[in-house]
């Protein structure tokens, strides 16, 4: 099976020198968020993102600060009267891009009946809409993420728990391991991530024999390279494609 992060792993980090949005940023930048809301969300991003990727802070130091960031961002978004019915248009109008080769990845996994588990600290409703609009939301895809909770009128009132942030992506937020139990015949995993927090995404899998961890090193490359090389089996720099994983899958699924 494949276990993958979404933001900046399946989606692109940059294009022509410009940053691409995360699923949160898509909402933040959209017409449904007020100017005041936009400013506050941007202030949070500028304060907390450098902490998220700071190689000199431990995960223990970062965890409570990430809970603070996500909670504050979700509270702000929940004050914006976002409509469930607006999500598709918000995604359509955004600058989000999936990495080159996403079609081959999703279609190949579907064709060969390989489960794709997307484990994301982003916004589930947004990322599902992205893959739906890209026509790759096949039945072998399962998503665990932060989902919006809408009232009877379809207005966002809060986010459903448990809150998933960059550094609690492990079985503590998977509410039991039923999903993985169903897949207990799957003993080989390819894990895709872009953060040091993505390394624990496969922790709940009961019968792992082989795991290949592929990491996209997107930001603060020089400072983070050592840690990424120690933790991931393959580290990709300046690579906005899924070519490496597609090549490996082609080899495993077709040529062997
Ligand atoms: P993930 O890629 O591990 O799923 O994490 C989601 C990313 O979303 C993480 O890098 C931080 C980012 N983020 C925002 O861009 N804006 C926000 O408001 C929040 C809470 C997170
Ligand atoms: Mg990510």
Which residues sit opposite 214 in a β-bridge? 192, 234
Query: Measured in angstroms, how far is the CA atom of residue 77 from the centroid of ligand 1?
Result: 14
- Of all residues in the chain, the percent with pLDDT exceeding 70 is 99
Reported as half-sphere exposure (CB side, CA atoms, 13 A), residue 38 has a value of 9
State the residue range of the domain holding 190. Answer: 2-255
Which residues sit opposite 15 in a β-bridge? 18
Task: Report the atom number in ligand 1 closest to the C-alpha of 195.
Answer: 3
Is residue 253 within 8 A of residue 114, CB to CB? The reply is yes
Q: What is the pLDDT of residues 36-50, one digit of tens each?
A: 999 999 999 999 999
Query: Measured in angstroms, how far is the CA atom of residue 37 from the centroid of ligand 2?
Result: 23
Residue 122 confidence class, pLDDT cut points 50, 70, 90: very high
In this structure, what CATH number is given to the domain that contains residue 245? 3.40.50.1000
Query: Measured in angstroms, how far is the CA atom of residue 62 from the centroid of ligand 1?
Result: 14
Query: Measured in angstroms, how far is the CA atom of residue 31 from the centroid of ligand 1?
Result: 20
Closest CA to 222 of 245, 238, 241: 238
Task: Report the atom number in ligand 1 closest to the C-alpha of 70.
Answer: 20
45 ligand 1 Cβ < 6 A: yes
Phi-psi region of 113 (alpha: psi -120 to 50; beta: other; left: phi over 0): left
Is residue 23 within 8 A of residue 122, CB to CB? The reply is yes
Residue 206 confidence class, pLDDT cut points 50, 70, 90: confident
pLDDT of residue 129: 98
Residue 176 has pLDDT above 80, yes or no: no
7 ligand 1 Cβ < 6 A: yes
70 ligand 1 Cβ < 6 A: yes
Q: What is the pLDDT of residues 142-167, one digit of tens each?
A: 999 999 999 999 999 999 989 999 99
- Give the integer Cα–Cα distance in Å for 1 and 253: 12
**From the CA of 52, which ligand is nearest?**
1
Q: Using alpha carbons only, give the angle 51, 69, 74 rounded to the nearest 5 degrees.
A: 155
11 ligand 1 Cβ < 6 A: no
- Of all residues in the chain, the percent with pLDDT exceeding 90 is 91
Average pLDDT for 211-229: 97
Q: Which residue is closest in CA terms to ligand 1's atom 16?
A: 24
How is 61-120 classified by DSSP, letter by letter? HHHHHHHHHHHHHHHHHHTS--BGGGHHHHHHTS---BPBTHHHHHHHHHHTT--EEEEE
5 is an active site residue? yes
Count of domains forming the chain: 1
Mean pLDDT lowest for which of 2-16, 128-142, 200-214?
Answer: 200-214
122 ligand 1 Cβ < 6 A: yes
Q: What is the pLDDT of residues 47-58, one digit of tens each?
A: 999 999 999 999
pLDDT of residue 181: 83
Tell me whether residue 155 is exposed, middle or buried, using C-beta atoms within 10 angstroms of its C-beta: 0 to 12, 13 to 18, 19 or more.
Answer: middle
CA dihedral sign of residues 248, 218, 174, 83: negative
48 ligand 1 Cβ < 6 A: no
Phi then psi for 115, rounded to 5 degrees? -65, 140
Please give the model's pTM, rounded to 2 decimal places.
Answer: 0.97
């Amino acid at each position: 099976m494949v276990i993958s992060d979404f933001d900046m792993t399946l989606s692109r980090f940059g294009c022509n020198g410009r940053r691409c949005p995360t699923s949160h940023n898509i909402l933040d930048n959209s017409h449904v968020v007020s100017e005041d809301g936009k400013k506050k969300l941007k202030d949070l991003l500028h304060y907390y993102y450098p902490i998220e990727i700071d190689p000199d802070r431990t995960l223990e130091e970062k965890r409570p600060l990430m809970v603070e960031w996500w909670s504050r961002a979700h509270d702000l978004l929940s004050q914006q009267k976002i409509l469930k019915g607006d999500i598709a248009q918000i995604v359509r109008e955004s600058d989000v891009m999936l990495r080159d080769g996403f079609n081959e990845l999703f279609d190949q996994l579907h064709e060969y009946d390989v489960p794709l588990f997307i484990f994301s600290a982003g916004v589930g409703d947004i990322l599902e809409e992205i893959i739906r609009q890209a026509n790759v939301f096949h039945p072998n895809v399962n998503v665990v993420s932060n989902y919006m909770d809408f009232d009877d009128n379809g207005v966002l009132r809060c986010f459903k728990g448990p809150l998933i942030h960059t550094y609690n992506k492990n079985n503590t937020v998977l509410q039991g391991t039923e999903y993985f139990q169903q897949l207990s015949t799957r003993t080989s995993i390819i894990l895709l991530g872009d953060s040091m927090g993505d390394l624990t995404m496969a922790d709940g899998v009961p019968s792992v024999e082989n795991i290949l961890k592929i990491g996209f090193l997107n930001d603060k490359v020089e400072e983070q390279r050592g840690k990424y090389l120690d933790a991931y089996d393959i580290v990709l720099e300046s690579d906005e494609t899924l070519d490496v994983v597609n090549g490996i899958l082609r080899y495993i699924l077709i040529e062997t």
